[in-house]
């Protein structure tokens, strides 16, 4: 990003203005759109961030990979976040740290919301939740093509059962 765009963005209101100055294919802008589309609960725009052949290298008991012959990894990730929105219908996502190169972006995302729907099999508690994930994405042709990351699922479950 050019120095003038950064300074203009800061003068016009910070990160949001700076994001508008970036090309939509810029890895930094894609991470910012990741947070923005989830915060807006726009799952169509969220799904559009991912390449059709998206590869998710993160697998856990809480977010297992789709079975062979079933959903694509892209659809599995979109469904995972749709379930998050169902469990936390007032979810907001912010970025607390971000580093980008020409084809990769790493971000620490902060998720906040109220547990008002079934989430990870737990009935609604009405509790306010706050948790983080650290994610690394490879960007190809303006889309999120690969992902490595760690989400604080244990922290989520501890808050749900507290």
The answer to whether the CB of 38 falls within 8 A of the CB of 81 is: yes
16 in any annotated domain: no
The answer to whether the CB of 119 falls within 8 A of the CB of 159 is: no
Per the structure, the complete domain to which residue 45 belongs is given by: 24-161
The CATH number given to whatever domain includes residue 102 is 3.10.450.50
Q: How far apart are CA 124 and CA 116, in angstroms?
A: 5
pLDDT for the residue 7:
37
Which tens digit of pLDDT belongs to each residue from 69-128?
Answer: 788 999 999 999 999 999 999 999 999 999 999 999 999 999 999 999 999 999 999 999
Q: How far apart are CA 143 and CA 17, in angstroms?
A: 21
48-to-37, 116, 133 alpha-carbon distances in Å = 10, 27, 21
pLDDT for the residue 25:
73
Model confidence, pTM: 0.82
105 in any annotated domain: yes
pLDDT for the residue 19:
43
Compare 64 and 71 and report the one with higher pLDDT: 71
Which tens digit of pLDDT belongs to each residue from 33-60?
Answer: 999 999 999 999 999 999 999 999 987 7
What's the DSSP call for residue 59? Answer: -
Segment 126-135 mean pLDDT: 96
92 in any annotated domain: yes
pLDDT for the residue 62:
64
3 in any annotated domain: no
Number of domains into which the chain is organized: 1
Residue 160 has pLDDT above 50, yes or no: yes
2 in any annotated domain: no
79-to-56, 76, 120 alpha-carbon distances in Å = 13, 5, 13
């Amino acid at each position: 990003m050019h120095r003038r765009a950064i300074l203009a963005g800061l003068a016009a209101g910070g990160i949001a203005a700076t994001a508008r100055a970036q090309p939509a294919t810029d890895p930094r802008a894609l991470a910012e759109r990741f947070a923005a589309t989830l915060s807006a609960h726009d799952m169509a725009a969220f799904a559009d961030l991912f390449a059709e052949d998206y590869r998710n290298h993160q697998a856990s008991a809480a977010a297992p990979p789709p079975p062979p012959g079933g959903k694509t990894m892209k659809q599995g990730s979109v469904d995972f976040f749709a379930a998050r929105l169902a469990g936390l219908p007032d979810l907001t996502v912010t970025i607390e740290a971000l580093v980008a190169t020409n084809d990769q972006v790493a971000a620490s995302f902060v998720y906040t919301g109220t547990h008002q729907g079934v989430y990870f099999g737990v009935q609604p508690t009405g509790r306010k939740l706050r948790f983080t994930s650290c994610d690394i994405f490879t960007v190809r042709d303006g889309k999120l093509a690969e992902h490595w990351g760690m989400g604080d699922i244990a922290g989520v479950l501890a808050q749900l059962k507290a």
